[in-house]
Amino acid sequence: MRPILLSLLLVAAAPLPAAALCPAPQGADALRSEVIRLVSAERRQAGLPPLAFAPKLQRAAQVQACDNARRSVLGHTLGNGAGLTERLRAEGYRFGTAAENVARGPATAERVVDLWMNSSGHRKNILMRGVREAGVGIAPGKDGRAQWSLVLGARR
């Protein structure tokens, strides 16, 4: 019984295999920067600090955007069942607070941020007091529409 339990514990503690990243669309870096700039502007208007770019959050966001594009879904959970917490742990991001917004369709940074700001749950995430960093994922969907993920966080 003990060897089985130990094996289960080792499997449960192992990091998730990184989901394969997909090719980013042309201009993805500029789109990511613009999303963070626009989200930070919304935060400033609400009296909150702007967000800093975090490479680990960007990778967690890109993994979700690619997975959503590959599976033609809009969700916060990878096909293997991993959610935001597992993706952040796999990236080695020790967080106290984290949130994620996803979207499918908008072709520009302005349109996706506008979509999120006009949705109460997404707006709440963007204006969350505790977050300080962000990463943005963008992937081309099979239908040609962009898949977006915005991951927000604060290190512990």
How is residue 122 written in tokens?
A: 């997404």
Q: Quote the pTM value.
A: 0.86
d(CA 114, CA 111): 5
Three-state SS at 78: coil
In the chain, where are the structural domains located? 48-153
pLDDT tens figures, 73-125 = 999 999 899 999 999 999 999 999 999 999 999 899 999 999 999 999 999 99
Select the CATH number that applies to the domain covering 48-153 from these four: 3.40.50.9100, 3.40.33.10, 3.20.10.10, 3.40.50.300: 3.40.33.10
Beta bridge partners of 136: 150
